[in-house]
Homo-oligomer: A and B are copies of this chain.
Amino acid sequence: MSTTSLPPSLMATLPGEHYTDPQVFALEQKRVFESMWFCTVRAADLPKPGAFRTVQVGTESILITRARDNSIRAFYNVCRHRGARICTEDSGEVKRAFQCPYHAWTYDLEGKLIAAPNLTKMPDLDRVEYGLVNVAVREWLGYVWVCLADEPPSFEDTVLGEVRTRLGDVASLDNYDVANLALGRRIVYDVKANWKLIVENFMECYHCATIHPELTEVLPEFADGYAAQYYVGHGALFGEDIQGFTVDGSEGLDRIPTISEDQDRRYYAITIKPQVFVNMVPDHVIIHRMFPLAVDRTVVECDWLYLPEVVASGKDISRSVELFHRVNEQDFDACERTQPSMSSRTYAKGGVLVPSEHHIGMFHDWVRGKLGE
């Protein structure tokens, strides 16, 4: 099982401990999730100033809200006084300020400290310096991306760079106008597997013929084992008899009018490292956000986005949602049955990648780089 003796058809994966060692995960939290741009919530979930959401980014609880000027802000969800959580709910709404429920230190929607008991007797206490600690924010695709790094990497180079690598350009994705689509359905999956197993699963289609009967019916070329992501710019073509990207191949919803003719009747997928998957079909876009919570547990939130008029009309989207919901369940089951073997001595040097999976090796190189290996 030594990697040096592998036949040319095979490449080694990461060693098993990368999927089981809490110290590796702790390092990933610092160097990956708390250092890179991380996709948190849908901006539309913050409909007005004072609406807020709290999310876990790496080891940190982050408070995301909309300020009075309608811009989105993100803060560490930690009072600057004695550390109490400012908000303990997943979501909610305040009128004009966040007040810590312990000692009533009060921060405006921009995070500035505006009131506290006896604050006037502490004139040496700067209201901005002792405001909530800011986190960098970017809105894109209708989502709020945050970065906990002191000096965030370039969003253009990293996040958009992933899109260019996959599609050849960002314009191809812009065609789908994702920011202006509406949420048709959101399903949350609690997966008992390391986040990297989920990424690897999403990156290859060698498993498609085995576990995704509905998907390969819609996208016949997937039965060959080559994922759309294998070829730059390629989208998998719908089968001849397929009317739409639905669980039974029946007609889908209204087509997004701004996509190109080339993009019709095709499925495209993009992995935006470390935690986002984008899936585009003519009538909707599916976005996965992963929240890695432990070395062997990852919560995945999956959004199905449609034209606003489709969602407003109340049209039946159930067969449309059902296709990828089944794909998700099939994939996460596979990841969960893989996780326990990662600690086996037979996996100490990792498993193997077949030719149609070799591109996963680039993901492994990227992980190793982040870990400083």
Q: Report A's interface with B, CB cutoff 8 A.
A: 7-10, 13, 16, 34, 59-61, 76-85, 88, 101-104, 116-118, 121-122, 124-126, 130, 133, 148, 200, 206-207, 209-211, 225, 334, 337-338, 340-347, 351-356
Contacts and interface: CB of A to CB of B under 8 A. Distances in A.
A10 B207 contact: no
Contacts of A80: 346, 351-352
Contact of A122 (B7, B103, B148): B7
A243 to B, nearest CB: 28
From DSSP, what is the main secondary structure of chain A's interface residues?
Answer: loop
Nearest to A30: B345
A84 B334 contact: yes
A82 B334 CA distance: 10
A83 B117 contact: no
A210 B83 contact: no
Given A118-B354, A121-B355, A346-B133, A83 B341 contact: yes
Given A84-B341, A88-B337, 9 more contacts: A7-B122, A8-B124, A10-B122, A59-B344, A60-B345, A76-B345, A79-B341, A103-B210, A118-B356
Contacts of A342: 83
Contacts of A338: 82-85, 102
Oligomer copy total: 3
B83 A354 contact: no
A18 to B, nearest CB: 12
Contacts of A7: 122, 124-126
Contacts of A83: 16, 338, 341-342, 344, 346-347, 351
Given A83-B341, A83-B344, A122-B354, A104 B210 contact: yes
Contacts of A148: 345
A296 to B, nearest CB: 14
Name the residue in A76, A121, A125, A337 with the highest tally of chain B Cβ atoms < 10 Å from its Cβ.
A337
Given A102-B338, A351-B82, A122 B344 contact: no
Name the residue in A207, A334, A343 with the highest tally of chain B Cβ atoms < 10 Å from its Cβ.
A207
Nearest to A124: B7
Contacts of A334: 84, 101-102
Given A82-B13, A356-B118, A207 B346 contact: no
A344 B76 contact: yes
Please name the 4 residue pairs, one residue from A and one from B, whose CB atoms are nearest each other, closest first.
Answer: A7-B124, A9-B122, A83-B341, A104-B210
Contacts of A9: 121-122, 124-125
Contacts of A356: 118
Nearest to A118: B225
A210 B117 contact: yes
Given A84-B334, A102-B210, A117 B225 contact: yes
Nearest to A104: B210
Nearest to A8: B124
A34 to B, nearest CB: 8
Contacts of A118: 206, 225, 354-356
